[in-house]
């Protein structure tokens, strides 16, 4: 199945908003850390419901915002949630970013980068479209150290890349980024039931659920273009 087929279905089922609700627990902390100045141009890679651009405009006065997504239904939904003329949602693929060299100030991506057909090439594309000093805030919950994410690929038809923390840093450097930081952003909001409620439908033990959300949370790797 293509990105379009898989994620158009998700959009039609309203899962774009569902993801926004869940991802917001950690995404808001990532967005708050971005060094966005008023008027700067932002790209949201794999935008889903498009919440990141709405938030960056409201909180930091970001200028133009482009939300790129391979699923036309996601783009249609995202567009319907805002009438801000500075924000545009575009259908496109991570393989080929529809921007000129140095055209973008900062890039955000949440739970999307690992769907890239060739993630090394996508990093090179990001380094190309970002201006010198521009940043890429790459947030993922699917990665090697997060053992609780390993079975996700079984449920999604689009091939996913599962890098470790080290592999993220190496790939960023290979593509020409400096790695400014890398850390785990915990999800402190998801409700973790009392010990007596386990096992639940999803979790065998409370310890595993705590590890998944409070310890691993979201892996954030921040790249800066020299």
Interface positions with ligand SAH (CB under 6 A): 3, 7, 19-20, 23, 27, 46-48, 69-71, 74, 93-94, 110-112, 115-117
Q: Cβ of residue 113: shortest distance to ligand SAH, in angstroms? A: 9
Which segments within the chain are labelled E, that is strand? 42-45, 65-69, 87-91, 104-110, 130-140, 178-185, 218-224
Q: Cβ of residue 207: shortest distance to ligand SAH, in angstroms? A: 27
Phi and psi at 108, nearest 5°, equal: -115, 145
Q: Which of 112, 171 has the CB closer to ligand SAH?
A: 112
Q: Cβ of residue 85: shortest distance to ligand SAH, in angstroms? A: 22
Q: Do the beta carbons of residue 117 and residue 160 sit within 8 Å?
A: no
Q: Cβ of residue 22: shortest distance to ligand SAH, in angstroms? A: 8
Nearest to 94 by CA among 76, 73, 67, 74: 67
How far is 54 from 57, CA to CA, in rounded Å? 5
Q: Which of 12, 206 has the CB closer to ligand SAH?
A: 12
Q: Which of 159, 199 has the CB closer to ligand SAH?
A: 159
Spacing of C-alpha 96 from chain mean position: 17
Helices 3-12 and 15-33, interaxial angle, to 10°? 100
Q: Which of 76, 206 has the CB closer to ligand SAH?
A: 76
Name the residue with the smallest CB distance to ligand SAH. 48
């Amino acid at each position: 199945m293509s990105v379009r087929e898989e994620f158009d279905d998700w959009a039609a089922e309203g899962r774009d908003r569902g993801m926004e609700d869940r991802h917001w627990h950690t995404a808001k902390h990532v967005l708050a850390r971005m060094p966005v100045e008023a008027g700067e141009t932002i790209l949201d890679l794999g935008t889903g419901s498009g919440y990141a651009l709405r938030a960056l405009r409201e909180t930091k006065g970001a200028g133009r915002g482009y939300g790129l997504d391979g699923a036309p239904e996601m783009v249609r939904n995202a567009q319907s949630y805002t009438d801000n003329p500075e924000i545009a949602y575009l259908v496109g693929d991570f393989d080929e970013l529809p921007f000129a060299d140095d055209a973008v100030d900062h890039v955000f991506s949440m739970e999307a980068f690992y769907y890239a057909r060739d993630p090394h090439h996508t990093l090179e594309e990001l380094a190309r479209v970002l201006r010198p000093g521009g940043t890429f805030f790459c947030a993922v919950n699917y990665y090697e150290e997060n053992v609780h994410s390993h079975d996700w690929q079984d449920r999604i038809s689009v091939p996913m890349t599962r890098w470790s923390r080290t592999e993220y840093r190496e790939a960023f450097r290979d593509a020409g980024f400096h790695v400014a930081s890398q850390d785990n952003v915990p999800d402190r909001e998801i409700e973790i039931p009392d010990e007596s409620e386990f096992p639940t439908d999803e979790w065998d033990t409370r310890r595993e659920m705590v590890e998944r959300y409070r310890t691993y949370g979201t892996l954030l790797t921040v790249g800066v273009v020299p």
